[in-house]
Structure 1
């Protein structure tokens, strides 16, 4: 028998649980509600979707990129440095075998112009500790179940 995270962990207080709701919209389009924000996902036309929104996998990679950007940006701000010009690019490849998954991810930080080598190195160190990056290195328990 497989145990879910809820069965193996100490119960969390309700305010510690983050809830996202996903609902079917049309075809391969789904909407996710996050704290009152609504995001859509779809699939490319070549895989049967209508390409009206990013795929879930693209949003996964975007989560990593935006988390890295946030950590880098906060580091710059904390040290009184300008964030203007900060950019992050994420490139990923899909695995050729099964199960379906991302095989590799490359994250590149373009720091603001004029940043010293020491500050550039610090950006890498700080950004590599973002929450999404940490979760990929220390995977969380995932339970998938049917609603009663």
Structure 2
């Protein structure tokens, strides 16, 4: 088994819904839209989660293209998911609280056939840690500090 690496972020909730973090010198804010009592300072946690998946796929694609000597000129990655907001609002729901399905669609700008692009995307998604986390069961532990 390979040596594992820990990734950590520290996030702070103060007044309102905005969550602030400074990650490797990058100030990030997650918030809610004004219609949901937020101040719209940043994307929602669900939007940031989907962005993270798209970002991870793009990063792994760049690494894989470099390794395979593919001239990857660019990549458009669309990530969308369906969820029932009732549970997170504390309302009764038969659905899970999280996304019921997450769909990833990619347009790859490279000199590859459609079949080669599909195979490349499969390889990339297989190597993506976030794709792995949402595809397979991951133990999540929470506790008070």
Q: Please, what TM-score do these two structures have when normalized by structure 1?
A: 0.78
Q: Once the two structures are superposed, what CA deviation does each residue of 1:14-65 show, in whole Å capped at 9, x if it has no partner?
A: x933221011244111112323322110001121111110011111111111
Q: 2:73 aligns with which of 73, 84, 88?
A: 84
State the secondary structure of the residue aligned to 2:71: coil
Structure 2 equivalent of residue 100 of structure 1:
97
Q: Once the two structures are superposed, what CA deviation does each residue of 1:77-101 show, in whole Å capped at 9, x if it has no partner?
A: 2222222221111112213635421
Q: Indicate conservation of the 8 Å contact 1:91/1:107, yes or no.
A: yes
1:41 aligns with 2:30: yes
1:16 aligns with 2:5: yes
Structure 2 equivalent of residue 55 of structure 1:
44
User: Judging changes above 3 Å, is the alpha-carbon distance between structure 1 residues 80 and 135 closer, same or farther for their aligned structure 2 residues?
Assistant: same
State the 4+ residue runs in structure 1 displaced beyond 4 angstroms.
none
Q: Please, what TM-score do these two structures have when normalized by structure 2?
A: 0.80
The number of equivalent residue pairs is 134
Structure 1 equivalent of residue 61 of structure 2:
72
- Structure 1 stretches lacking a partner, 5+ long: 1-12
Structure 2 equivalent of residue 120 of structure 1:
117
Q: What RMSD in Å do the two structures reach over aligned CA positions?
A: 2.2
Tell me: higher relative CO, structure 1 or 2? Use CA pairs within 8 A at least 6 residues apart.
1
- Structure 2 stretches lacking a partner, 5+ long: 86-92
1:133 aligns with 2:122: no
